[in-house]
Protein backbone atom coordinates (compact mmCIF):
# COMPACT_ATOMS: atom_id res chain seq x y z
CA UNK A 1 0.00 0.00 0.00
CA UNK A 2 2.81 2.34 0.83
CA UNK A 3 4.38 1.57 -2.54
CA UNK A 4 1.21 2.36 -4.41
CA UNK A 5 0.94 5.70 -2.66
CA UNK A 6 4.51 6.52 -3.61
CA UNK A 7 3.98 5.65 -7.26
CA UNK A 8 0.76 7.63 -7.42
CA UNK A 9 2.43 10.67 -5.92
CA UNK A 10 5.33 10.51 -8.36
CA UNK A 11 2.96 10.17 -11.27
CA UNK A 12 0.92 13.15 -10.21
CA UNK A 13 4.02 15.24 -9.68
CA UNK A 14 5.32 14.51 -13.18
CA UNK A 15 2.04 15.32 -14.91
CA UNK A 16 0.98 18.23 -12.77
CA UNK A 17 2.73 20.85 -14.86
CA UNK A 18 1.03 24.12 -15.50
CA UNK A 19 -0.28 24.22 -19.07
CA UNK A 20 1.32 27.56 -19.76
CA UNK A 21 3.06 26.68 -23.02
CA UNK A 22 1.73 26.61 -26.52
CA UNK A 23 -0.79 29.29 -25.81
CA UNK A 24 -2.35 31.68 -28.27
CA UNK A 25 -0.04 34.59 -27.54
CA UNK A 26 2.47 33.83 -30.30
CA UNK A 27 4.92 31.99 -28.07
CA UNK A 28 6.94 29.34 -29.88
CA UNK A 29 8.75 28.11 -26.83
CA UNK A 30 10.91 29.09 -23.92
CA UNK A 31 14.51 29.89 -23.17
CA UNK A 32 16.17 27.94 -20.39
CA UNK A 33 19.23 28.29 -18.26
CA UNK A 34 19.95 24.78 -17.11
CA UNK A 35 22.37 25.88 -14.42
CA UNK A 36 20.01 28.29 -12.72
CA UNK A 37 16.75 26.64 -13.68
CA UNK A 38 15.51 29.91 -15.12
CA UNK A 39 12.90 29.84 -17.81
CA UNK A 40 11.73 32.75 -19.91
CA UNK A 41 9.16 32.36 -22.64
CA UNK A 42 10.15 33.86 -25.98
CA UNK A 43 7.30 36.36 -25.78
CA UNK A 44 8.47 37.43 -22.33
CA UNK A 45 12.08 38.23 -23.24
CA UNK A 46 11.37 41.81 -24.28
CA UNK A 47 8.82 42.27 -21.53
CA UNK A 48 11.41 41.16 -18.99
CA UNK A 49 13.95 43.51 -20.50
CA UNK A 50 16.58 40.80 -20.90
CA UNK A 51 19.71 41.38 -22.93
CA UNK A 52 19.95 39.33 -26.09
CA UNK A 53 22.74 38.36 -28.46
CA UNK A 54 21.11 40.31 -31.28
CA UNK A 55 19.34 37.28 -32.72
CA UNK A 56 16.76 37.01 -30.01
CA UNK A 57 18.61 34.66 -27.72
CA UNK A 58 18.56 36.11 -24.20
CA UNK A 59 21.23 35.83 -21.57
CA UNK A 60 20.41 34.42 -18.19
CA UNK A 61 19.73 37.27 -15.76
CA UNK A 62 21.46 35.34 -12.99
CA UNK A 63 24.65 33.89 -14.49
CA UNK A 64 24.86 35.72 -17.83
CA UNK A 65 25.12 32.59 -19.94
CA UNK A 66 23.29 32.35 -23.23
CA UNK A 67 20.02 30.59 -22.69
CA UNK A 68 18.85 27.49 -24.53
CA UNK A 69 15.72 27.60 -26.65
CA UNK A 70 13.24 24.82 -26.34
CA UNK A 71 10.20 24.72 -28.56
CA UNK A 72 6.88 24.38 -26.87
CA UNK A 73 4.99 21.24 -27.61
CA UNK A 74 1.30 21.16 -27.21
CA UNK A 75 -1.63 22.84 -28.78
CA UNK A 76 -0.03 23.85 -32.06
CA UNK A 77 -1.14 21.68 -34.96
CA UNK A 78 1.59 19.98 -36.97
CA UNK A 79 -0.53 19.30 -40.03
ZN1 LIG B 1 21.84 31.08 -15.39
What would the pLDDT profile of 27-77 be if each residue is shown by its tens digit?
Answer: 999 999 999 999 999 999 999 999 999 998 999 999 999 999 999 876 655
Q: What is the pLDDT of residue 73?
A: 74
pLDDT at 79: 63
The answer as to whether 2 is a domain residue is: no
CA of 30 to the centre of ligand 1 (A): 14
Q: Is the pLDDT of residue 11 over 90?
A: no
The range of the structural domain enclosing residue 46 comes to 26-72
What's the pLDDT score for residue 25? 81
The residue length of the chain stands at: 79
How remote is the CA of residue 26 from the centroid of ligand 1, in Å? 25
* Domain-located, residue 18: no
11 is a domain residue: no
Its pTM stands at 0.61
Give backbone dihedrals phi and psi of 30, rounded to 5 degrees, phi first: -135, 155
Note whether residue 50 is domain-resident. yes
Provide the number of structural domains found in the chain.
1
Predicted local confidence at residue 9, as pLDDT: 67
66 Cα–ligand 1 center, Å: 8
Whether 32 is covered by a domain: the verdict is yes
Is residue 63 situated within a structural domain? yes
Q: How far apart are CA 16 and CA 78, in angstroms?
A: 24
Amino acid sequence: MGIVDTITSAFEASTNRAPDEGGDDGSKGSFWCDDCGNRVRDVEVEREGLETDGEGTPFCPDCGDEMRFERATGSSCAC
